[in-house]
Amino acid sequence: MFSVNHQKFMEMDELSLQNVPYFFIIDFLTENVEIFKENEIEKSDLLVDFQHYSNAKSKHELHKKIEWKSYPETLENFKSGFDKVQKNIHLGNSYLVNYTRKTKIKTNLTLKEIFYHSSAKYKVFYKDFFVFFSPETFVKIIDGKILTYPMKGTIDASLENAAEVLKNDKKEKAEHYTVVDLLRNDLSMVADNVKVDKFQHIDFIKTQQKDLYAMSSEISGNLKPEFDGKLGSIMKKLLPAGSILGAPKPKTLEIILEAEGYERGYYTGVCGWFDGENVDSCVMIRFIEKEGDELYFKSGGGITHMSKLEDEYQEMKNKIYVPIY
């Protein structure tokens, strides 16, 4: 279904079966799979700050007033891809499409400073090429149990009763149900006894621009014996991540490639840390990439038949933030 870097996934299997710790990065289309054993991470100009693994030095001081400007595309521009997505949804080709854009930004922060000073569950700086500060876990594997935490639905936290409004918003709710269903199905390919443990959990995300609430759920299962210890095979089966693609996966991918008209690259791919026994991985969102001398922030959101153009355009812009405060 997707072009796959077979050899690298096999290498991931071999290392995880031998209990060798390593960090991995996989791009959106699973065309590029990079593996760094623990002793190679430093040499590769890779900075990682996860909950259970970090090679980041102590926090640097920031002695400047942050400048941050974004230059979002026009509503008309956004609309052309949005209309392609909606047309496909109305034709029944997809019922949820994650539509993303790239936005030029200007800031006096370097990618490394953004890495060191932003607050997030998962942060990576890679070769002065990209940095991200992601709130979204992809999968965790702990003692043969696999867990995933799809995140769908965000709202400006300053709105009155924002968390309740988010939980009860018809469009956001439908989107969340769809992603939970999709991820439950995905996990069933590699695990037995898959169940939803927590539904519509609300997370608070603090940023310099505005505070947001995001909605997530927890799904878990027990790894099937044939996938036990085979991290590469698990990733190959589960990717691209359902929460940043949509459903059904193969057709939705075609729609995305046509509607977006730019390459996501590593944005919305996944990366993770295998400690020799367990895995913690994240979806690479809240993502800034360097192209020549320019910086671009990639962001987007889920589109369903209930989506309104202006709301989706606003959500895409809401996500262009840096969590430094």
Q: Please spell the DSSP secondary structure of 48-82, one letter per residue.
A: EE-SS-B---SPPP--S---EEEEPPPHHHHHHHH
123 belongs to a structural domain: yes
Question: Is the peptide bond prior to 21 cis by the omega test (within 30 degrees of 0)?
Answer: no
Which pLDDT score, from 0 to 100, does residue 39 have?
A: 87
257 sits in which H/E element: helix 249-260
90 belongs to a structural domain: yes
Helix runs in 137-206, H state only: 162-168, 170-190
Structurally, the chain folds into a number of domains equal to 1
148-164 in b/e form (b: 16+ CB < 10 A) is: bbbbbbbbebeeeebee
Residues linked to residue 122 through DSSP beta bridges, in sequence order: 134
Alpha-carbon distances of 224 from 21, 148, 235, rounded to whole Å: 22, 16, 14
Q: For residue 77, what are the domain limits?
A: 6-318
324 belongs to a structural domain: no
193 belongs to a structural domain: yes
What is the domain-level CATH number for residue 111? Answer: 3.60.120.10
Q: What is the pLDDT of residues 187-214, one digit of tens each?
A: 999 999 999 988 877 777 665 556 777 7
**Is the distance from CB of 66 to CB of 106 less than 8 angstroms?**
no
65 belongs to a structural domain: yes
264 belongs to a structural domain: yes
- What counts of helices (H) and strands (E) characterise the chain? 9, 17
pTM: 0.90
Q: What is the pLDDT of residues 134-187, one digit of tens each?
A: 988 999 999 999 999 887 667 777 777 777 777 777 777 777 888 889 999 999
85 belongs to a structural domain: yes
